[in-house]
Amino acid sequence: MTQQTTTVSYKLSEMTVDQLVQVSQGLGHQIDKLRADRVHLGKLIAQKLRDQRVADLKAQIADLEAQVNAEAPGAVIEATAATVS
Amino acid sequence: MASLIYNRALELWARGNIDFDTDTFKVMLTTSAYAENKDTHDFRDDVTNEVAGAGYTAGGNTATVTVTLDTANDRLDITLGGTTWPASTITARKAVYYKSRGGAATADELIAVNDFGADVISSSGTFTLNASTLRITNT
C-alpha cells in the first residue's frame, strides 16, 4: 500500500500565536501517537521473544525425546577346571 | 548363540601370553550377524560385523579387567569391566572382549563374547555395557 504525503512549509516566524499553538498541539499529538506506537512495538517484541523461547524449548524437548539410552546386560561365562583321573 | 570363552584364550592364558592384571583389554560391539566360533576364532580379525554408528569408534573401548580368587566357592572370577558410549546411535547384539596390543587386529587375542540375547539399541543416547564375569570353577 502506498501512502501519499503532502508537505506544506510555513515560516514559524510569520505564524500567529494561534497557529503556533496549533502546530504545538499537532506535534503533541504526534508525540502521543509515537509513544503509543512504541508501546505497541514493545509488546510485539516481547511476544516474539516469548514465541522464540517457546520454539526453542519445543526443539530442546524434541531432541531429548529423540534420545534413547540403552543398557546391555553383562554375563557370567563359566569354565570348569576339573581333575582328570 | 550363547556367551562363551574362546578356547584359544584359555590356551594363551595357560601359556602365559595373557596377563589379566597388566595387559590392555578392549571391548568391541557387533551386530547379530557375527557368528562366533570358540574353536576357530582366535584373533580380532576373525570378528565380523562390528557395529558402526555415531558415537562408536571401530575397535571399541578400553575395558578394565580385575581378577578375584574366591576360595570359599573354589572359583576364580575375571571381571571384564563395562563401559559406555555416550551420544551414540548403535544397534548391537554382542560384545567381544580382546587383548589389545595396540596394532593390527591380527595380533589381538580374543577373550570372550557376551551375547545380549537381543539387539540393544541406542539413539543419540548413552549405550551402557555392563560388566561380565569369566568364572573358572574348580570342581
Cell of B139: 570342581
Cα distance between residue B30 and residue B41, in whole Å: 14
pLDDT of residue A63: 85
Q: Which residue has the higher pLDDT, B77 or A11?
A: B77
pLDDT in tens, B12-70: 888 999 999 999 999 999 999 999 999 999 999 999 999 999 999 999 999 999 999 99
Question: Is B3:B105 a contact under the CB 8 Å cutoff?
Answer: no
Q: Which residue has the higher pLDDT, A14 or B80?
A: B80
Cβ of residue A1 closer than 8 Å to a chain B Cβ: no
Cα distance between residue A31 and residue A37, in whole Å: 10
Q: What angle do CA B80, B81, B85 make, to 5 degrees?
A: 130
Contact B125 A74 (CB under 8 A): no
Chain B residues close to A70, C-beta within 8 Å: 90, 120-122, 125-128
Interface test mutation site (partner B, options A60, A65, A77, max chain B beta carbons within 10 A):
A77
Q: Give the number of residues written for chain A.
A: 85
pLDDT in tens, B88-129: 999 999 999 999 999 999 999 999 999 999 999 999 999 999
The one-letter code for the residue type at A37 is D
Chain B closest CA to A84's CA: distance in Å? 11
Cβ of residue A81 closer than 8 Å to a chain B Cβ: yes
Chain A residues close to B73, C-beta within 8 Å: none
Find, in chain A, the residue whose alpha carbon is nearest to that of B127: A70
Element holding B70 (H helix, E strand): strand B65-70
pLDDT of residue A1: 63
Chain A closest CA to B45's CA: distance in Å? 22
Chain A closest CA to B135's CA: distance in Å? 5
Chain B closest CA to A55's CA: distance in Å? 21
pTM of this structure:
0.76
Chain B residues close to A74, C-beta within 8 Å: 82, 114, 129-133
